[in-house]
Amino acid sequence: MTMEEVMRDTTAFGGYAMYAFVTALFLILGNWTVFAQLVVGIILCYAFTLPIRYFFFRRRPDKQSHSGFFTRIDAGSFPSIHSTRVVILAIILCRFFNNPLVSVLFALGVIGVIVTRVTLKRHYLSDALGGVVIGSIAGWLTLALTPHVLAALGW
């Protein structure tokens, strides 16, 4: 396994596929609380990051081209959506597992995503750290809002 493959695998922890997999897993397991937290978390992730990426556009280090709304969002560098997603995921799952060792592992995963996003030249360090800040806000807001969402749904 090459270093490039290791970095791509590590950065995948902040990818949408990983987030969707974990969300589906909690749905299948019937844990409605964590499932709802993950759904609320991803909604907040995009509600915060997409407008910032569009209105405060910052070109990626690898200078990705763009021609429309969605390609402009994808070509934007700030904030890192991978960093935002992985932090939201870590906050929710650390609360779920409530285990210091698991929390350390998630913290290492967050650091790994930050390092790989910068190393792969998809983001500047400030983009990844901005994603961590937004992810932290969204993650804690998710934990605060989800009981109200569940109550409104009658769950």
Task: Output DSSP code: residue 10.
Answer: H
- The answer to whether 113 touches 11, Cβ cutoff 8 Å, is yes
Q: What is the DSSP string of 117-152?
A: HHHTTSS-HHHHHHHHHHHHHHHHHHHHHHHHHHHH
Predicted pLDDT at 110 = 97
- What pLDDT was estimated at residue 64? 79
What does the block give as tokens for 92? 């929710």
Q: What is the pLDDT of residues 66-106, one digit of tens each?
A: 788 888 888 889 999 999 999 999 999 999 999 999 999 99
Q: First and final CA of the chain: distance in angstroms? A: 46
pLDDT, block means (10 residues), the chain with 155 residues: 87 93 98 96 97 91 83 90 98 98 97 96 96 98 94 86
The continuous run of DSSP H or E covering 108 comes out as helix 100-119
